[in-house]
Amino acid sequence: MIRTQALTKDFVVSRSRTVHAVRGISLDVEPGELVAVLGPNGAGKTTTLRMLTTLIPPTSGTAEVAGYDVVTHPDRVRAAIGYVGQGGAGGASQRVRDELVTQGEIYGLDRRTARSRAGELTEALDLTEQADRKIESLSGGQKRRLDVAVGLVHEPSLLFLDEPSTGLDPHNRANLWQHILRMRTAAAEPMTIVLTTHYLDEADTFAERVIVVDHGQVIADDTADALKAELAGDLVTLRVPPEHAAPLAGIAERASGTRSVRVLRAGGVSTVEIRTADGPGAAPGLLRAADAAGVPVSRVDVTRPTLDDVFLGLTGRSLRETAVVDAPDGGQGTVATGSTGGGSTNLTNNSSTNNSSDSDSSDKKEVLA
């Protein structure tokens, strides 16, 4: 469904400065996969999605999407995909329901089908009460839900979602996911979905495959479980009096399956943190060895790793430090504006604006209709 080879994107910002936003991404996504792309701010996620959706041309490398090259056949690619860009919608005087119907018709639905889709989507995304209101009067989270609805109205077989749930409250995040998953399985051919998110729990729970991007490159690509098992491991934490910490750390280092041991000290107690392949399997043996050595353990915790531990293990940095959590207005201030002011960009036909300004990072207007 998607095949990229050594895809790169450079933004020439000034004569002396070029941003290497994407530095050689090679990917294969099979039909029906649900892939989450994770990475800190500025990692190159949006830039990659914008290349795959034909909004900006690659600097080098190739990308085939839905069977067509993004550079030579952008119209074919656009007809086959849906795209919900990052950032909130701009103001518009169109009403919510009319916007959805118009977008559906632009994608070739007849009016009756477009109206029934608009009805389903407003209901699924909790916009029924707002359906007859003007877009400019919606709250940030409501606008974001409309962006997503616009991206879904023609039921594309391949859907790109750039931080679809940023800015939504927990109830609406849950609704959105329920709808995405239902729609995906209801389709005749299972829908392929590529999304970016800073909510690691979403990627962990819903994605079948997680691609971790950092500094414009893919640094890991597997199922969440495999990544956690391979790159992070479980954490066994043992609490002991400080004078027993060093002997216990020695025992832990010699135990089979141990990957790393760290001793922390706070408030008169020490904790020995042991990263190990199988925490529940290792804990009893560690306790027995501690007991035999006369080390009094006052508390044991076994925690499974998170995707943040995976990133930490790969880069030494935490994704949480850069995560965008619950942005109140549905985006990070950048605006992807379609013909009607929605954050979903209309991707049909006209390719004349394909080469939107490469050098202006503040200009994310993508008017393609």
Phi, psi of 65 (to 5 degrees): -130, 125
Q: Which residue is it, tokens 């042991």?
A: 274
Q: Which residue is it, tokens 């832990």?
A: 252
* 44 in contact with ligand ATP (CB under 6 A): yes
Site string for Mg ion, 24-63 (x = CB under 5 A): ---------------------xx-----------------
Interface with ligand ATP (CB under 6 A), residue from 1, 7, 8, 11: 11
* 119 in contact with ligand ATP (CB under 6 A): no
Scanning 77-85, 91-99, 228-236, 355-363 for contacts with ligand ATP by CB under 6 A, the matching segment is: 355-363
**Which runs of E-coded beta strand occur in the chain?**
2-14, 17-29, 34-38, 60-65, 68-69, 81-84, 158-162, 192-196, 209-214, 217-222, 234-240, 258-266, 269-276, 299-303
Nearer to Mg ion, 86 or 345 (CB): 86
In whole angstroms, what is the distance from residue 10 CA to residue 13 CA?
Answer: 9
Nearer to ligand ATP, 38 or 272 (CB): 38
In whole angstroms, what is the distance from residue 184 CA to residue 132 CA?
Answer: 27
* 43 in contact with ligand ATP (CB under 6 A): yes
Interface with ligand ATP (CB under 6 A), residue from 136, 291, 301, 360: 360
The least CB distance from residue 162 to ligand ATP, in Å, is 7
143 CB neighbour count, 10 Å cutoff: 28
Nearer to Mg ion, 258 or 345 (CB): 345
Q: Which tokens hold the place of 169?
A: 């409250």
Scanning 41-49, 128-136, 266-274, 293-301 for contacts with ligand ATP by CB under 6 A, the matching segment is: 41-49
Positions in 52-111 near ligand ATP (CB under 6 A): 86
Question: How many residues interact with ligand ATP (rule CB under 6 A)?
Answer: 17
Sign of the Cα torsion 276, 277, 279, 284 reads negative
Give the closest residue to 100 by CA, choosing from 346, 350, 360: 346
Scanning 64-72, 102-110, 186-194, 354-362 for contacts with ligand ATP by CB under 6 A, the matching segment is: 354-362
In whole angstroms, what is the distance from residue 351 CA to residue 254 CA?
Answer: 62
The least CB distance from residue 79 to ligand ATP, in Å, is 24
* 13 in contact with ligand ATP (CB under 6 A): yes
Give the closest residue to 83 by CA, choosing from 354, 330, 338: 338
Q: Which residues bind ligand ATP (CB under 6 A)?
A: 11, 13, 19, 21, 39, 41-47, 86, 358-361
Q: Which residues bind Mg ion (CB under 5 A)?
A: 45-46, 86
